[in-house]
Amino acid sequence: TDQAGFWDLTRPMLLRAAAMSFIFVPVSIIALSDLPFSQRGNATGLFNLTRELGGSLGTAWMGFLVERGTLLHASYLREAITPENLIVQEQLGAIQATLAQQTWTSQLVAETVFGLRVRLQALILSFNHGFALTAALFLVSLLLVAVLRRPQGGEGPAGGAH
């Protein structure tokens, strides 16, 4: 919501950062352990390149989802904003009363503030939808872990896998 504070956002990020440290080493071992030791150096570089590229594409995809979703949710929210809507009248009146002492165009400013509130709610709905979709894709990808082969162990020391 728009009431989220600093720690509401920071706690999940700290948990995610801690969990990521437990993911990269096992995934690297699974991806590289079946390769001969002589190929692991090049394979590690390619593996890291694809991992970074995947992160960049994921960030771009989320940005696209948020941008498109904000426009979509804002259009849905604006459909309910009519002069006859009592909630809209009440909100505009409250904003005008708050701003009456501060500006001589309190009605125009109130409409602008109300429009910003609608955009904020559309942005929040868009982020929520994007994160829900990402979580669903993550849960589906967990099913793919079941089909991974166990590493057989290649030639040479295992230290070259990371």
Number of H helices, E strands in the chain: 5, 0
Q: How far apart are the first and last CA of the chain?
A: 40
Predicted TM-score (pTM) of the model is 0.71
**Does 162 score more than 50 pLDDT?**
no
Total residues belonging to the chain? 162
- Model pLDDT for residues 6-31, shown as the tens digit of each residue: 998 899 889 988 888 888 888 888 88
According to the model, what pLDDT value does residue 161 have? 45
According to the model, what pLDDT value does residue 153 have? 56
Per the CB < 8 A criterion, the answer to whether 37 and 156 are in contact is yes
Q: What percent of the chain has pLDDT over 90?
A: 34
According to the model, what pLDDT value does residue 58 have? 92
- Model pLDDT for residues 74-133, shown as the tens digit of each residue: 999 888 888 788 888 888 888 887 776 776 676 777 788 888 889 999 999 999 999 999
According to the model, what pLDDT value does residue 111 have? 82
Query: Can you point out the beta strands (E) in the chain?
Result: none
According to the model, what pLDDT value does residue 103 have? 67
- Model pLDDT for residues 117-130, shown as the tens digit of each residue: 899 999 999 999 99
